[in-house]
């Protein structure tokens, strides 16, 4: 991967998608990267240990440093940092972190001619009754089911009203899973949680269905491996013809049973799935079906996912969870063609 312009700034670089993005850029010969994050007292720093980047800046200092020499040579901004907890109840906190911060960073990027790519979310679609079509045609019709989705929707609508979507790229990630997510706690993917359950108990618990048109465990989601997610993210960032909102998913809806079955296979255990009642606080917010329409993404020239769900789960469990590893570039030598 050549260096067409300047350096790369990645916010949220210590998170699941952010650290995987640094890994993917390293694999392509890029280490001219400035990373921001909120490492705190947890274990997220471990996501960055094996990765190559030029500079690190705590996220709460980024806005005050925008016009400093440290960021003068940045040409591409991947804004992935946010509060992604779908159960967060402090709406003011979410607005400040997910809307205000994004708006200020986007304004600066546009004013200085920098490529701005940011994480929206499939949570903006709510229950899916208004469809899950990307672009901005149906944007005002969506009704998010939680404060997190609302905070993301606010910026999408703001960007449309000010004409920004003609110049920037918004990414509506679906159910992304993969290495470097252990720090997410309850927000970890079901693959990570199920792996721990199966390894400890030989079984996994999934939610029962409360709808007659879906059997237990056959509720469907668009599960998207993080290696494919960052491949699509990089493609859109460096595709000059790409602008606006894009769904980032596999384009295939799979059941929870299909998701956890490869875990049993990799561990060499018989499938043992138990079903439990859906908690009362989730019943009105639970999605029974999600599937990303990725036709706009494919139309930009992206070749599509490299991993089927089965292959992705086997790669994640076999190469990372069982040995307890994080993402690490294949080579420590930087070679830019």
User: Across the strands, what pairs with 336?
Assistant: none
Angle, alpha carbons 26-32-36 (nearest 5°): 90
Is 184 considered catalytic here? yes
Backbone angles phi, psi at 303, to 5 degrees: -80, -5
Q: Radius of gyration of the chain from Cα atoms?
A: 19
- Which residues contact residue 302 at a Cβ distance below 8 angstroms, ignoring those fewer than 6 apart? 231, 232, 235, 236, 239
148 in active site: yes
Beta bridge partners of 34: 9, 55
Nearest to 231 by CA among 181, 306, 291: 306
Choice among 101, 118, 125, 148 that is catalytic: 148
* Candidate list 56, 93, 184, 214, residue with the active-site label: 184
Spatial distance between the Cα atoms of 336 and 2, rounded to a whole number of angstroms: 6
**What residues contact 179, with CB distance under 8 A and at least 6 apart?**
20, 226, 316, 320, 325, 326, 327
In whole angstroms, what is the distance from residue 59 CA to residue 36 CA? Answer: 5
From residue 151, give the alpha-carbon distance in Å to each of 120, 128, 223.
9, 17, 23
Identify whether the C-beta of residue 102 lies closer than 8 Å to the C-beta of residue 141.
Answer: no
Question: Which residues are tagged catalytic?
Answer: 148, 184
């Amino acid at each position: 991967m050549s260096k067409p312009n300047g350096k790369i700034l990645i916010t949220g670089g210590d998170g699941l998608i952010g650290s995987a993005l640094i890994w993917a850029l390293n694999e392509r010969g890029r280490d001219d990267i400035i990373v921001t994050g909120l490492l705190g007292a947890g274990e997220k720093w471990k996501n960055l240990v094996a990765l190559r980047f030029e500079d690190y800046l705590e996220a709460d200092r980024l806005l005050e440093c925008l016009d400093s020499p440290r960021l003068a040579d940045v040409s591409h901004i991947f804004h992935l940092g946010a509060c992604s907890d779908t159960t967060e109840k402090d709406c003011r906190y979410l607005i400040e972190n997910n809307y205000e911060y994004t708006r200020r960073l986007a304004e600066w990027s546009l004013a200085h001619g920098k490529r701005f790519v940011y994480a929206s979310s499939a949570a903006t679609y709510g229950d899916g009754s208004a469809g899950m079509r990307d672009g901005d045609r149906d944007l005002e019709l969506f009704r998010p089911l939680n404060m997190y989705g609302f905070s993301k929707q606010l910026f999408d609508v703001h960007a449309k009203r000010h004409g920004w979507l003609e110049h920037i790229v918004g990414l509506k990630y679906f159910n992304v899973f993969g290495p470097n997510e252990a720090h997410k706690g309850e927000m970890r993917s079901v693959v990570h949680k199920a792996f721990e359950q199966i390894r400890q108990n030989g079984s996994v618990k999934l939610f029962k269905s409360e709808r007659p048109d879906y059997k237990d465990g056959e509720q469907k989601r668009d599960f998207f491996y993080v290696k494919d997610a960052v491949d699509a993210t990089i493609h859109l960032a460096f595709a000059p013809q790409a602008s606006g909102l894009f769904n980032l998913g596999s384009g295939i809806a799979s059941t929870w049973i299909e998701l956890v079955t490869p875990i049993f296979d990799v561990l060499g255990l018989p499938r043992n799935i138990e079903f439990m009642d859906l908690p009362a606080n989730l019943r009105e917010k639970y999605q029974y079906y999600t599937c990303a329409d990725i036709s706009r993404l494919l139309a930009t020239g992206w070749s599509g996912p490299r991993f089927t769900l089965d292959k992705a789960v086997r790669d994640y469990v076999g190469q990372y969870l069982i040995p307890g590893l994080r993402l690490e570039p294949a080579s420590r030598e930087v070679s830019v063609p």
